[in-house]
């Protein structure tokens, strides 16, 4: 790492996440149910005495980057990995002027563009490194919101799920995240359940090809909400949560069907029905009802595929194969358009599911040798932390 060093070396770790259910509804203010992964982004850093920040990535695909700490760090070209670090530095610099920079080495065992939030993990890790290096703290809920807003620097109008779970996850648990106000409520994942994550081999880069399609969904869901609100003589700025509380879901869906374009009515149906599945899934998890949770995963996937149109044929195939191999349910996870699926099964069934995916999905695509990288068991893990100085 480069000079001038002016403090001991520290390490921060921020996990990726897998969203179990509640997809594409966080930006509508509806609750979601993700958990953090054992895989993470790690940053080894030391504080500098000036405002320079220098980043080196252990992965040679990502070139070193340097910039001065500022409230609006100029962005690197679109798609550059360092933009997530620049987003974090800008966000914390807006909160605390006069921060010193860091020299940082970034490493990750999280698959990239796989729907597992490697980008938000980098944002969170970088923000924690900056805060720690400068001896300042931000209360966890405030930091989650600050970084959710801050990540929009890369041009994606994301919701707040990723930053919240990456910072606030508890080991062994999934967490329901509610918005406005933000809160996290953990539920223990039953010991005999296993969530398997499998990559479709189709990259879905949030700040790249998937960005436009993602932003279109956020606009569509908002427009649908406003149109339904008008039909119900409700204020145009009513939230989805208040809309769902104002009328039975069936009535809302009928109204959308009768008054909205086909596309907007489908977008609306996804948001509203997915919103109902989250508390049901949370209850199924608390009760250890694997079959019920699995049915909700399947319903979520169908809704994302048919109504929200964010799936991909390779994701659909993976879901189908996981189900045929005995998973209780499976769905795409994350923003979609590629990325990964998550499948649920009992612990003892997991090897069969993994073997079936290897033989029927990865082998025909010439990727069987790498199955250990493409498929893994998601261990519900703790949120981001600064580790003891090394």
How, if at all, do strands 52-57 and 33-47 pair? unpaired
Q: Closer CB to ligand GLA, residue 133 or residue 304?
A: 304
Sorted by sequence, the CB contacts under 8 Å of residue 68 that are 6+ apart come out as: 51, 52, 53, 101
Shortest distance (Å) from residue 189 CB to ligand GLA: 19
Please list every residue from 285 through 344 that binds ligand GLA, using CB under 6 A: 334-335
> Closer CB to ligand GLA, residue 159 or residue 383?
159
Residue 153 is a binding residue for ligand GLA (CB under 6 A): no
CA angle 167, 169, 175 (to 5 degrees): 125
Instruction: Yes or no: say if 68 and 51 are a contact pair by the CB < 8 Å rule.
Output: yes
Helix 249-259, helix 209-231: angle, nearest 10: 100
Distance of closest approach, residue 79 Cβ to ligand GLA, in angstroms: 16
Q: How far is the CB of 117 from ligand GLA (least distance, A)?
A: 6
Instruction: Considering the complex, state which of residue 145 and residue 359 has its C-beta at the smaller distance from ligand GLA.
Output: 145
Task: State in angstroms the smallest separation of the CB of 151 from ligand GLA.
Answer: 7
**Smallest gap, in angstroms, from Cβ of residue 226 to ligand GLA?**
19
Stretch that binds ligand GLA, among 157-165, 232-240, 288-296, 349-357 (CB under 6 A): 157-165
Interaction pattern, residues 87-126, with ligand GLA; x per rule: CB under 6 A: ------------------------------x---------
Which residues share a beta bridge with 186?
Answer: 175
Please check whether residue 41 is in contact with residue 121, taking contact to mean a CB–CB distance below 8 angstroms: yes
Residue with Cβ nearer ligand GLA (39 or 46): 39
Nearest approach, Cβ of 195 to ligand GLA (angstroms)? 16
Minimum distance between the CB of residue 68 and ligand GLA, rounded to whole angstroms? 27
- Select 111 or 334, whichever has its Cβ closest to ligand GLA: 334
Residue with Cβ nearer ligand GLA (302 or 360): 302
DSSP string, 154-209: GS----SHHHHHHHH--TTEEEEEETTTTEEEEEEPPTTEEEEEEE-S----TTTH
Q: Pick the catalytic residue: 26, 103, 162, 307?
A: 162
Contact pick of 47, 159, 339, 383 for ligand GLA (by CB under 6 A): 159
Establish if 161 lies at the interface with ligand GLA (CB under 6 A): yes
Q: Does 205 bind ligand GLA (CB under 6 A)?
A: no
Task: Using alpha carbons, select from 214, 210, 193, 203 the residue that is nearest to residue 374.
Answer: 203
Alpha helices in 260-381 (DSSP H): 262-287, 290-302, 313-324, 350-357, 371-374
C-beta of residue 312 within 8 angstroms of C-beta of residue 325: no
Q: Which of 350, 362, 356, 312 is nearest to 333 (CA)?
A: 312
Please state, in angstroms and rounded to a whole number, the distance separating the CA atoms of residues 310 and 324: 22
158 binds ligand GLA (CB under 6 A): yes
Q: Is 178 a catalytic residue?
A: no
The answer to whether residues 135 and 47 touch, using CB atoms and an 8 Å cutoff, is no
162 belongs to the binding site for ligand GLA (CB under 6 A):
yes
CA 129 to chain centroid: 20
Peptide bond into 340 cis (omega under 30): no
For the CA atoms of 118, 120, 122, 127, the dihedral, rounded to the nearest 10 degrees, stands at -170
- Contact window for ligand GLA (CB under 6 A) among 50-58, 66-74, 154-162, 271-279: 154-162
Residue number with CB closer to ligand GLA (67 or 308): 308
Applying CB under 6 A, what is the total number of residues that bind ligand GLA? 12
Site string for ligand GLA, 5-24 (x = CB under 6 A): --------------x---xx
The token duo for 175 is 């967490």
Residue ranges binding ligand GLA (CB under 6 A): 19, 23-24, 26-27, 117, 158-159, 161-162, 334-335
Which residues does the annotation mark as catalytic? 162
């Amino acid at each position: 790492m480069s000079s001038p060093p002016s403090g001991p070396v520290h390490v921060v770790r921020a996990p990726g996440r897998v969203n179990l259910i509640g997809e594409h509804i966080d930006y509508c203010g509806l609750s979601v149910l993700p958990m953090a992964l054992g895989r993470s982004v790690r940053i080894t850093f030391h504080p500098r005495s000036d405002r320079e920040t220098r980043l080196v990535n252990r992965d040679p695909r990502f070139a070193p980057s340097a910039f001065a700490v500022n409230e609006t760090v100029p962005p690197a070209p679109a798609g550059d990995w360092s933009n997530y670090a620049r987003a974090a530095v800008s966000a914390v610099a807006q909160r605390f002027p006069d921060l010193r920079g860091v020299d940082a080495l970034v490493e990750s065992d999280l698959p990239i563009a796989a729907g597992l939030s490697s980008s938000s993990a980098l944002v969170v890790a970088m923000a924690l490194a900056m805060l720690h290096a400068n001896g300042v703290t931000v209360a966890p809920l405030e930091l989650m919101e600050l970084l959710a807003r801050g990540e929009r620097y890369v041009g994606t109008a994301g919701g707040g799920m990723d930053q919240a779970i990456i910072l606030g996850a508890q080991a062994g648990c999934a967490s329901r995240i509610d918005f406005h106000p933000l809160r996290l409520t953990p539920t223990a994942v039953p010991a005999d359940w296993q969530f398997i994550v499998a990559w479709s081999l189709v990259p879905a880069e949030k700040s790249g090809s998937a960005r436009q399609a993602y932003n279109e969904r956020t606009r569509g869901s908002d427009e649908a909400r406003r149109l339904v609100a008008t039909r119900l003589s409700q204020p145009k700025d009513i939230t989805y949560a208040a809309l769902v509380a104002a009328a039975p879901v069936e009535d809302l869906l009928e109204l959308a069907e009768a008054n909205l374009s086909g596309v907007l009515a489908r977008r609306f149906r996804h948001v509203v029905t997915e919103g109902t599945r989250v508390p049901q899934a949370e209850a199924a998890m608390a009760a250890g009802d694997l079959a019920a949770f699995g049915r909700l995963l399947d319903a979520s996937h169908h809704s994302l595929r048919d109504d929200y149109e964010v799936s991909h044929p390779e994701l659909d195939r993976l879901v189908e194969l996981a189900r045929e191999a005995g998973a209780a349910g499976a769905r795409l996870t994350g923003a979609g358009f590629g990325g990964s699926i998550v499948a649920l099964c009992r612990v003892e069934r997991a090897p069969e599911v993994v073997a079936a995916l290897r033989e029927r999905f990865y082998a025909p695509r010439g990727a069987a040798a790498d199955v250990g990288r493409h498929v893994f068991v998601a261990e519900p893990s703790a949120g981001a932390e600064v580790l003891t100085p090394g």
